[in-house]
Protein backbone atom coordinates (compact mmCIF):
# COMPACT_ATOMS: atom_id res chain seq x y z
CA UNK A 1 0.00 0.00 0.00
CA UNK A 2 1.81 3.11 -1.17
CA UNK A 3 1.53 6.36 0.76
CA UNK A 4 1.19 9.86 -0.70
CA UNK A 5 4.87 10.28 0.01
CA UNK A 6 5.81 7.22 -2.03
CA UNK A 7 3.50 8.18 -4.89
CA UNK A 8 4.08 11.94 -5.03
CA UNK A 9 7.17 12.58 -2.93
CA UNK A 10 5.08 14.53 -0.40
CA UNK A 11 2.61 13.66 2.36
CA UNK A 12 0.17 16.51 1.85
CA UNK A 13 -1.03 17.02 -1.72
CA UNK A 14 -1.05 20.81 -1.17
CA UNK A 15 2.42 20.97 0.47
CA UNK A 16 3.65 24.37 -0.73
CA UNK A 17 7.39 23.71 -0.28
CA UNK A 18 7.22 20.38 -2.07
CA UNK A 19 5.33 21.87 -5.01
CA UNK A 20 7.83 24.72 -5.28
CA UNK A 21 10.71 22.23 -5.18
CA UNK A 22 9.63 20.65 -8.51
CA UNK A 23 11.81 22.35 -11.10
CA UNK A 24 13.59 21.22 -14.22
CA UNK A 25 17.32 21.62 -14.22
CA UNK A 26 18.07 21.06 -17.88
CA UNK A 27 15.86 23.66 -19.61
CA UNK A 28 18.88 25.19 -21.35
CA UNK A 29 19.99 21.87 -22.85
CA UNK A 30 18.94 20.88 -26.35
CA UNK A 31 18.19 17.30 -25.30
CA UNK A 32 16.55 15.57 -22.36
CA UNK A 33 17.38 11.89 -21.85
CA UNK A 34 15.02 9.40 -20.22
CA UNK A 35 15.68 5.71 -19.56
CA UNK A 36 12.97 3.83 -21.46
CA UNK A 37 12.14 0.48 -19.88
CA UNK A 38 10.01 -2.41 -21.08
CA UNK A 39 10.50 -5.26 -23.53
CA UNK A 40 9.94 -4.92 -27.27
CA UNK A 41 7.45 -7.70 -27.98
CA UNK A 42 7.17 -9.62 -31.24
CA UNK A 43 3.94 -11.51 -31.71
CA UNK A 44 3.51 -14.41 -34.14
CA UNK A 45 -0.22 -14.26 -33.67
CA UNK A 46 -1.27 -12.20 -36.69
CA UNK A 47 -4.97 -13.01 -36.24
CA UNK A 48 -7.19 -9.97 -36.47
CA UNK A 49 -9.00 -10.94 -33.29
CA UNK A 50 -9.92 -7.44 -32.04
CA UNK A 51 -12.46 -6.01 -34.47
CA UNK A 52 -13.07 -2.81 -32.49
CA UNK A 53 -9.38 -1.92 -32.69
CA UNK A 54 -9.42 -2.89 -36.35
CA UNK A 55 -12.26 -0.49 -36.99
CA UNK A 56 -10.41 2.32 -35.29
CA UNK A 57 -7.34 1.54 -37.42
CA UNK A 58 -9.38 1.79 -40.63
CA UNK A 59 -10.85 5.08 -39.47
CA UNK A 60 -7.40 6.42 -38.63
CA UNK A 61 -6.15 5.61 -42.14
CA UNK A 62 -9.01 7.53 -43.67
CA UNK A 63 -8.66 10.51 -41.33
CA UNK A 64 -5.09 11.53 -42.17
CA UNK A 65 -4.58 15.20 -43.01
CA UNK A 66 -1.63 17.26 -44.14
CA UNK A 67 -0.44 19.92 -41.72
CA UNK A 68 1.21 21.95 -44.47
CA UNK A 69 -1.60 22.04 -47.03
CA UNK A 70 -4.87 21.67 -45.07
CA UNK A 71 -4.50 24.74 -42.85
CA UNK A 72 -4.64 28.47 -43.77
CA UNK A 73 -1.07 29.32 -42.76
CA UNK A 74 -1.28 32.69 -44.54
CA UNK A 75 -3.60 33.99 -41.76
CA UNK A 76 -2.21 37.10 -40.05
CA UNK A 77 -2.14 36.76 -36.28
CA UNK A 78 -1.97 39.84 -34.08
CA UNK A 79 -1.72 38.27 -30.65
CA UNK A 80 -2.86 41.22 -28.54
CA UNK A 81 -5.79 41.74 -30.86
CA UNK A 82 -6.69 38.04 -30.58
CA UNK A 83 -6.57 38.14 -26.76
CA UNK A 84 -8.89 41.16 -26.72
CA UNK A 85 -11.26 39.68 -29.31
CA UNK A 86 -11.48 36.42 -27.40
CA UNK A 87 -12.23 38.24 -24.17
CA UNK A 88 -14.89 40.33 -25.85
CA UNK A 89 -16.54 37.45 -27.68
CA UNK A 90 -16.68 35.32 -24.57
CA UNK A 91 -17.67 38.04 -22.17
CA UNK A 92 -14.57 37.57 -20.06
CA UNK A 93 -13.14 40.28 -17.87
CA UNK A 94 -9.67 39.42 -16.72
CA UNK A 95 -9.18 38.66 -13.09
CA UNK A 96 -12.70 39.71 -12.15
CA UNK A 97 -13.91 36.24 -11.21
CA UNK A 98 -11.16 35.83 -8.60
CA UNK A 99 -10.76 37.56 -5.30
CA UNK A 100 -7.31 39.11 -5.74
CA UNK A 101 -7.34 41.21 -2.61
CA UNK A 102 -3.92 41.37 -0.96
CA UNK A 103 -2.21 39.72 -3.93
CA UNK A 104 0.31 41.24 -6.36
CA UNK A 105 -2.37 41.32 -9.06
CA UNK A 106 -4.80 43.31 -6.99
CA UNK A 107 -3.50 46.42 -8.74
CA UNK A 108 -3.27 44.99 -12.21
CA UNK A 109 -5.06 47.02 -14.86
CA UNK A 110 -6.05 46.17 -18.42
CA UNK A 111 -2.47 46.42 -19.70
CA UNK A 112 -1.18 43.83 -17.24
CA UNK A 113 -4.04 41.41 -17.86
CA UNK A 114 -3.53 41.80 -21.61
CA UNK A 115 0.18 41.02 -21.27
CA UNK A 116 -0.74 38.07 -19.08
CA UNK A 117 -3.22 36.87 -21.71
CA UNK A 118 -0.49 36.89 -24.36
CA UNK A 119 2.03 35.13 -22.11
CA UNK A 120 -0.40 32.50 -20.95
CA UNK A 121 -1.25 31.70 -24.57
CA UNK A 122 2.45 31.34 -25.38
CA UNK A 123 2.84 29.09 -22.37
CA UNK A 124 -0.22 26.96 -23.08
CA UNK A 125 0.69 26.35 -26.71
CA UNK A 126 4.28 25.60 -25.70
CA UNK A 127 3.02 22.94 -23.27
CA UNK A 128 0.79 21.53 -26.05
CA UNK A 129 3.91 21.28 -28.23
CA UNK A 130 6.02 19.52 -25.58
CA UNK A 131 3.13 17.27 -24.56
CA UNK A 132 2.67 16.26 -28.21
CA UNK A 133 6.31 15.25 -28.40
CA UNK A 134 5.74 13.18 -25.26
CA UNK A 135 2.81 11.53 -27.04
CA UNK A 136 4.95 10.88 -30.12
CA UNK A 137 7.60 9.10 -28.05
CA UNK A 138 5.09 7.20 -25.91
CA UNK A 139 3.13 5.95 -28.91
CA UNK A 140 6.30 4.77 -30.62
CA UNK A 141 6.97 2.85 -27.41
CA UNK A 142 3.45 1.36 -27.46
CA UNK A 143 4.12 -0.03 -30.96
CA UNK A 144 7.05 -1.97 -29.47
CA UNK A 145 5.60 -3.06 -26.15
CA UNK A 146 1.92 -3.88 -26.73
CA UNK A 147 1.49 -7.63 -27.34
CA UNK A 148 -1.55 -7.45 -29.70
CA UNK A 149 -1.14 -7.10 -33.48
CA UNK A 150 -4.31 -4.96 -33.90
CA UNK A 151 -2.99 -2.54 -31.27
CA UNK A 152 0.42 -2.34 -32.96
CA UNK A 153 -1.29 -1.44 -36.25
CA UNK A 154 -3.40 1.24 -34.63
CA UNK A 155 -0.54 2.67 -32.57
CA UNK A 156 1.51 3.04 -35.76
CA UNK A 157 -1.13 5.42 -37.15
CA UNK A 158 -1.04 7.35 -33.92
CA UNK A 159 2.72 7.85 -34.25
CA UNK A 160 2.01 9.61 -37.55
CA UNK A 161 -0.78 11.66 -35.94
CA UNK A 162 1.47 12.80 -33.11
CA UNK A 163 4.28 13.77 -35.48
CA UNK A 164 1.76 15.96 -37.29
CA UNK A 165 0.63 17.51 -33.99
CA UNK A 166 4.20 18.39 -33.02
CA UNK A 167 4.61 19.85 -36.50
CA UNK A 168 1.53 22.11 -36.34
CA UNK A 169 2.10 23.47 -32.84
CA UNK A 170 5.76 24.06 -33.59
CA UNK A 171 4.95 25.95 -36.78
CA UNK A 172 2.23 27.97 -35.07
CA UNK A 173 4.53 28.99 -32.21
CA UNK A 174 7.39 29.81 -34.56
CA UNK A 175 5.51 31.80 -37.15
CA UNK A 176 2.46 33.26 -35.39
CA UNK A 177 3.42 33.87 -31.75
CA UNK A 178 6.30 35.59 -30.03
CA UNK A 179 7.90 33.61 -27.28
CA UNK A 180 8.25 29.95 -26.33
CA UNK A 181 8.30 28.40 -22.89
CA UNK A 182 10.24 25.31 -21.82
CA UNK A 183 8.36 22.20 -20.75
CA UNK A 184 6.61 22.53 -17.39
CA UNK A 185 8.52 20.48 -14.77
CA UNK A 186 5.44 18.65 -13.47
CA UNK A 187 4.53 17.62 -17.03
CA UNK A 188 8.11 16.48 -17.70
CA UNK A 189 8.14 14.48 -14.46
CA UNK A 190 4.93 12.72 -15.47
CA UNK A 191 6.10 11.94 -19.01
CA UNK A 192 9.44 10.64 -17.66
CA UNK A 193 7.56 8.35 -15.27
CA UNK A 194 5.36 7.07 -18.10
CA UNK A 195 8.35 6.31 -20.35
CA UNK A 196 10.36 4.80 -17.49
CA UNK A 197 7.65 2.32 -16.50
CA UNK A 198 8.26 -1.14 -17.91
CA UNK A 199 4.59 -2.23 -17.99
CA UNK A 200 3.04 -1.57 -21.38
CA UNK A 201 -0.37 -0.69 -20.04
CA UNK A 202 1.10 2.12 -17.91
CA UNK A 203 2.18 3.93 -21.08
CA UNK A 204 -1.43 3.73 -22.21
CA UNK A 205 -2.87 4.81 -18.89
CA UNK A 206 -0.46 7.72 -18.48
CA UNK A 207 -0.48 9.00 -22.04
CA UNK A 208 -3.69 7.81 -23.74
CA UNK A 209 -5.98 8.33 -20.79
CA UNK A 210 -4.51 10.95 -18.48
CA UNK A 211 -2.37 13.29 -20.61
CA UNK A 212 -4.51 13.03 -23.74
CA UNK A 213 -7.75 13.19 -21.79
CA UNK A 214 -6.63 16.51 -20.34
CA UNK A 215 -5.24 17.69 -23.68
CA UNK A 216 -8.59 17.06 -25.32
CA UNK A 217 -10.33 19.16 -22.68
CA UNK A 218 -7.75 21.94 -23.04
CA UNK A 219 -7.94 21.92 -26.86
CA UNK A 220 -11.72 21.93 -26.66
CA UNK A 221 -11.71 24.92 -24.32
CA UNK A 222 -9.31 26.89 -26.50
CA UNK A 223 -11.19 25.91 -29.65
CA UNK A 224 -14.38 27.26 -28.15
CA UNK A 225 -12.83 30.49 -26.89
CA UNK A 226 -10.53 31.52 -29.72
CA UNK A 227 -11.67 33.81 -32.50
CA UNK A 228 -8.46 33.24 -34.45
CA UNK A 229 -9.43 31.20 -37.56
CA UNK A 230 -6.12 29.40 -38.14
CA UNK A 231 -5.83 28.24 -34.54
CA UNK A 232 -9.49 27.26 -34.47
CA UNK A 233 -9.14 25.04 -37.51
CA UNK A 234 -5.84 23.60 -36.34
CA UNK A 235 -7.37 22.64 -33.00
CA UNK A 236 -10.41 21.06 -34.61
CA UNK A 237 -8.18 18.82 -36.73
CA UNK A 238 -6.01 17.87 -33.76
CA UNK A 239 -9.03 17.16 -31.54
CA UNK A 240 -10.51 14.71 -34.02
CA UNK A 241 -7.26 12.73 -33.83
CA UNK A 242 -7.00 12.98 -30.05
CA UNK A 243 -10.52 11.72 -29.44
CA UNK A 244 -9.59 8.61 -31.45
CA UNK A 245 -6.42 8.20 -29.36
CA UNK A 246 -8.29 8.24 -26.07
CA UNK A 247 -10.83 5.78 -27.50
CA UNK A 248 -7.89 3.50 -28.40
CA UNK A 249 -6.64 3.71 -24.81
CA UNK A 250 -10.04 2.99 -23.30
CA UNK A 251 -10.71 -0.01 -25.58
CA UNK A 252 -7.33 -1.59 -24.88
CA UNK A 253 -7.28 -1.00 -21.14
CA UNK A 254 -10.84 -2.17 -20.55
CA UNK A 255 -9.87 -5.54 -21.99
CA UNK A 256 -6.57 -5.72 -20.15
CA UNK A 257 -7.85 -4.58 -16.75
CA UNK A 258 -10.63 -7.16 -16.86
CA UNK A 259 -7.92 -9.79 -16.42
CA UNK A 260 -5.98 -8.13 -13.57
CA UNK A 261 -6.18 -8.94 -9.85
CA UNK A 262 -6.82 -6.51 -6.98
CA UNK A 263 -3.15 -5.78 -6.19
CA UNK A 264 -2.33 -5.01 -9.82
CA UNK A 265 -5.38 -2.78 -10.17
CA UNK A 266 -4.35 -0.93 -7.04
CA UNK A 267 -1.01 -0.05 -8.73
CA UNK A 268 -2.98 1.38 -11.66
CA UNK A 269 -5.13 3.41 -9.31
CA UNK A 270 -2.04 4.83 -7.65
CA UNK A 271 -0.59 5.74 -11.01
CA UNK A 272 -3.83 7.48 -12.03
CA UNK A 273 -3.74 9.47 -8.81
CA UNK A 274 -0.10 10.45 -9.35
CA UNK A 275 -0.80 11.54 -12.92
CA UNK A 276 -3.82 13.60 -11.85
CA UNK A 277 -1.81 15.45 -9.21
CA UNK A 278 1.14 16.10 -11.54
CA UNK A 279 -1.20 17.66 -14.05
CA UNK A 280 -2.85 19.72 -11.37
CA UNK A 281 0.58 21.09 -10.32
CA UNK A 282 1.30 21.86 -13.94
CA UNK A 283 -1.73 24.12 -14.27
CA UNK A 284 -0.09 26.66 -11.96
CA UNK A 285 2.08 27.89 -14.86
CA UNK A 286 4.79 29.32 -12.62
CA UNK A 287 6.92 30.64 -15.42
CA UNK A 288 4.19 32.85 -16.82
CA UNK A 289 3.76 34.55 -13.47
CA UNK A 290 7.51 35.01 -13.18
CA UNK A 291 7.56 36.65 -16.61
CA UNK A 292 4.89 38.99 -15.23
CA UNK A 293 7.02 39.81 -12.20
CA UNK A 294 5.04 37.78 -9.66
CA UNK A 295 7.07 35.24 -7.70
CA UNK A 296 6.28 31.54 -7.67
CA UNK A 297 5.67 31.30 -3.97
CA UNK A 298 3.07 34.08 -3.88
CA UNK A 299 1.14 32.74 -6.84
CA UNK A 300 1.27 29.14 -5.62
CA UNK A 301 -0.12 30.16 -2.24
CA UNK A 302 -2.86 32.08 -3.98
CA UNK A 303 -3.76 29.24 -6.35
CA UNK A 304 -3.76 26.64 -3.58
CA UNK A 305 -6.31 28.88 -1.88
CA UNK A 306 -8.40 29.19 -5.07
CA UNK A 307 -8.26 25.43 -5.49
CA UNK A 308 -10.10 24.91 -2.26
CA UNK A 309 -13.02 26.91 -3.59
CA UNK A 310 -15.84 24.83 -4.94
CA UNK A 311 -16.36 24.86 -8.69
CA UNK A 312 -13.03 26.49 -9.33
CA UNK A 313 -12.21 26.59 -13.05
CA UNK A 314 -8.69 25.11 -12.74
CA UNK A 315 -10.00 21.98 -11.11
CA UNK A 316 -12.96 21.58 -13.45
CA UNK A 317 -10.83 21.62 -16.62
CA UNK A 318 -8.70 18.78 -15.38
CA UNK A 319 -10.94 16.47 -13.41
CA UNK A 320 -14.06 16.65 -15.55
CA UNK A 321 -12.20 14.35 -17.97
CA UNK A 322 -10.02 12.29 -15.67
CA UNK A 323 -12.65 11.18 -13.19
CA UNK A 324 -15.19 9.86 -15.77
CA UNK A 325 -12.39 8.15 -17.72
CA UNK A 326 -11.14 6.37 -14.59
CA UNK A 327 -14.70 5.33 -13.83
CA UNK A 328 -15.17 3.98 -17.36
CA UNK A 329 -12.06 1.84 -16.93
CA UNK A 330 -13.38 0.49 -13.64
CA UNK A 331 -10.51 2.06 -11.70
CA UNK A 332 -12.60 4.39 -9.58
CA UNK A 333 -14.20 1.55 -7.64
CA UNK A 334 -11.75 -1.31 -8.15
CA UNK A 335 -10.69 -3.18 -5.00
CA UNK A 336 -11.70 -1.28 -1.89
CA UNK A 337 -12.42 1.91 -3.85
CA UNK A 338 -9.13 3.54 -2.94
CA UNK A 339 -9.21 5.91 -5.91
CA UNK A 340 -12.75 7.01 -5.12
CA UNK A 341 -11.58 7.88 -1.63
CA UNK A 342 -8.56 9.83 -2.93
CA UNK A 343 -10.58 11.77 -5.50
CA UNK A 344 -13.13 12.37 -2.74
CA UNK A 345 -10.42 13.97 -0.58
CA UNK A 346 -9.57 16.26 -3.51
CA UNK A 347 -13.25 17.18 -3.81
CA UNK A 348 -13.58 16.12 -7.46
CA UNK A 349 -16.11 13.26 -7.34
CA UNK A 350 -18.84 15.58 -8.62
CA UNK A 351 -17.43 14.92 -12.12
CA UNK A 352 -17.77 11.13 -12.01
CA UNK A 353 -20.90 11.03 -14.19
CA UNK A 354 -19.74 13.59 -16.73
CA UNK A 355 -19.24 12.40 -20.29
CA UNK A 356 -16.19 10.15 -20.61
CA UNK A 357 -13.92 10.54 -23.60
CA UNK A 358 -15.09 7.33 -25.28
CA UNK A 359 -18.68 8.58 -25.28
CA UNK A 360 -17.50 12.02 -26.37
CA UNK A 361 -15.70 10.45 -29.32
CA UNK A 362 -18.84 8.59 -30.39
CA UNK A 363 -20.81 11.83 -30.15
CA UNK A 364 -18.22 13.75 -32.19
CA UNK A 365 -18.36 11.05 -34.87
CA UNK A 366 -22.14 11.34 -35.06
CA UNK A 367 -22.00 15.13 -35.21
CA UNK A 368 -19.46 14.97 -38.00
CA UNK A 369 -21.62 12.53 -39.93
CA UNK A 370 -24.67 14.72 -39.44
CA UNK A 371 -22.71 17.74 -40.70
CA UNK A 372 -21.84 15.72 -43.80
Q: How many residues bind Fe ion (CB under 5 A)?
A: 7
Q: Interface with Fe ion includes 130 (CB under 5 A)?
A: no
Under a CB-based contact definition with an 8 Å cutoff, are residues 13 and 173 in contact? no
Q: Which long-range contacts (CB under 8 A, 24 or more apart) does 330-336 make?
A: 330/254, 330/257, 330/258, 330/265, 331/257, 331/265, 331/268, 331/269, 331/272, 334/257, 334/262, 334/265, 334/266, 334/268, 334/269, 335/262, 335/265, 335/266, 335/269
List 19, 22, 125, 135, residue binding Fe ion (CB under 5 A): 135
Interacting positions 50-109 with Fe ion (CB under 5 A): none
Distances from the Cα of 24 to the Cα of 29, 187, 291, 335, angstroms: 11, 10, 17, 36
Burial of 326 (0-12, 13-18, 19+ CB in 10 A): buried
Nearest Cα residue to 265 out of 277, 253, 275: 253
Q: Which one, 132 or 197, has the nearer CB to Fe ion?
A: 132
Least spacing, CB of residue 230 vs Fe ion, in Å: 18
Q: Which one, 214 or 277, has the nearer CB to Fe ion?
A: 214
Least spacing, CB of residue 246 vs Fe ion, in Å: 8
Q: Interface with Fe ion includes 165 (CB under 5 A)?
A: yes
Q: Interface with Fe ion includes 342 (CB under 5 A)?
A: no
Tell me how crowded residue 29 is: count the other CB atoms within 10 A of its CB: 10
Q: Which one, 212 or 228, has the nearer CB to Fe ion?
A: 212
Q: Interface with Fe ion includes 244 (CB under 5 A)?
A: no
Segment contacting Fe ion (CB under 5 A): 6-14, 162-170, 174-182, 354-362?
162-170
Least spacing, CB of residue 165 vs Fe ion, in Å: 4
Q: Which one, 212 or 270, has the nearer CB to Fe ion?
A: 212
Q: Interface with Fe ion includes 245 (CB under 5 A)?
A: yes
Applying CB under 5 A, which residues contact Fe ion?
132, 135, 162, 165, 212, 242, 245
Amino acid sequence: MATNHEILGRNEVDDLEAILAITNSDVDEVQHLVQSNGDAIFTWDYDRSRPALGKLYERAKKSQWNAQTDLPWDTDVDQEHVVLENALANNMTFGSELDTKGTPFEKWGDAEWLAFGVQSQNWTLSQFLHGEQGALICTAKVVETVPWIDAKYYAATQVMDEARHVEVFSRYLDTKLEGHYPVNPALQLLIDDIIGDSRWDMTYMGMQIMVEGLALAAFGFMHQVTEEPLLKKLLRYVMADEARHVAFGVLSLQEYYAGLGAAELRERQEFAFEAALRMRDRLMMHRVWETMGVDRRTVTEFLLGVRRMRNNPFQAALFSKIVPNCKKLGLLDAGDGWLRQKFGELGVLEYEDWEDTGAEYERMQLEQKAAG
